[in-house]
């Protein structure tokens, strides 16, 4: 089930992120970078496979033939016995999920052995999509608090110290997307990269997803705020790249993304007279758990809708 971020969580987030970032920086300064990255590689190898498998599963279902022998499985771990028995893990999956897991494992081995930028980006995108799916903001005010706090966090740690850049360059894990700057010269073996942290994708992403749900709540059959914020994100990211190219220095992406992602939708709300509706929109922090349908039922339902 998605986890809902409240205003209190949003206010604490930059502090927790700062402590984590500083802790990683000190770890890299005190301990051997080689051993730390070995442990992190194994950790993100497992997480990356699971995240990528979960991400590609809906897409892969379209390629399986109708007569594919799909069997259902259940992984169940319990603690105690009798009336005190408690479920720790209860995971249902099928043969199609196992195929997706096998394909993801190939990417995982490729990343573990070569640290190739394409494998890194596949894992990074999977983490980002899962993050946006599983993290929800309860209202627009909480989103503004979160984005505003991380705006200050990003600017301070990039411009005020060398901590952010040092950790990003030392941290050999798919926590960032990398873009080869010498792709035309060296092709797939490019080794000179520009970086975009996953936080610069997930944090604005959950705010944009909130605006999409707000669009749906208006019941006007339009996605005005979603498209506006999406265009604003592209604009902010493009501006980040432009400034980085001009000044030849790492830039805190949230410095440009936050004003764009908040400012553009707010201007649209002012023009449409929907500012009150936007800031009064609220999502429950304890969403009801919907019984999980089997994939066959879901696919059959999609066919009926079409």
Q: In Å, what is the CA distance from 48 to each residue of 104, 133, 145?
A: 8, 16, 30
For residue 166, give every residue at least 6 positions away whose Cβ sits within 8 Å of its Cβ, in sequence order, or none: 25, 28
Could you tell me if 262 and 225 are in contact, meaning their C-beta atoms sit under 8 angstroms apart?
no
Q: In Å, what is the CA distance from 272 to each residue of 29, 225, 276?
A: 52, 11, 11
Confidence of residue 306 (pLDDT cuts 50, 70, 90): very low
Mean pLDDT of 141-156: 94
Of 267 and 169, more confident: 267
Place of tokens 């089930």: 1
Q: In the structure encoding, which two tokens stand for residue 8, read together?
A: 């209190």
Q: Is pLDDT of 294 > 70? A: no
Active-site positions read 154, 200
The pTM (predicted TM-score) of the whole model is: 0.83
Q: Is pLDDT of 93 > 70? A: yes
Of 114 and 147, more confident: 147
Q: Is pLDDT of 162 > 60? A: yes
- In whole angstroms, what is the distance from residue 35 CA to residue 297 CA? 47
- Supply the pLDDT for residue 295: 46
């Amino acid at each position: 089930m998605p986890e809902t971020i409240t205003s209190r969580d949003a206010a604490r987030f930059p502090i927790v992120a700062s402590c984590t970032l500083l802790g990683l920086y000190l770890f890299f300064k005190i301990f051997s970078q080689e051993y730390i990255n070995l442990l992190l590689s194994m950790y993100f190898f497992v997480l990356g496979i699971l995240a990528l498998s979960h991400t590609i599963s809906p897409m892969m279902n379209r390629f399986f033939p109708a007569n594919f022998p799909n069997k259902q499985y259940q992984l169940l771990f319990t603690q105690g016995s009798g009336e005190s028995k408690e479920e720790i893990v209860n995971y249902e999956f099928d043969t199609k999920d196992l195929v997706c897991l096998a394909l993801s494992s190939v990417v995982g081995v490729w990343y573990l052995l070569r640290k190739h930028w394409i494998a890194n980006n596949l894992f990074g995108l999977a983490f980002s999509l899962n993050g946006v799916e599983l993290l929800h903001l309860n209202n627009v005010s909480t989103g503004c608090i979160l984005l505003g706090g991380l705006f200050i966090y990003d600017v301070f740690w990039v411009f005020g110290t060398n901590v952010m850049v040092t950790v990003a360059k030392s941290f050999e894990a798919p926590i960032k997307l990398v873009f080869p700057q010498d792709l035309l010269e060296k092709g797939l073996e490019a080794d000179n990269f520009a970086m975009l942290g996953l936080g610069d994708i997930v944090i604005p992403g959950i705010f944009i997803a909130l605006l999409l749900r707000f669009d749906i709540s208006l019941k006007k059959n339009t996605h005005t705020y979603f498209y506006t914020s999406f265009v604003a994100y592209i604009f902010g990211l493009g501006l980040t790249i432009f400034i980085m190219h001009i000044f030849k220095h790492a830039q805190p992406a949230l410095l440009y993304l936050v004003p764009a992602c908040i400012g553009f939708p707010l201007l649209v709300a002012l023009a449409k007279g929907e500012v009150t509706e936007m800031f009064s929109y609220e999502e429950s922090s304890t969403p009801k758990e919907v019984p999980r349908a089997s994939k066959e039922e879901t696919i059959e339902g999609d066919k009926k809708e079409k």
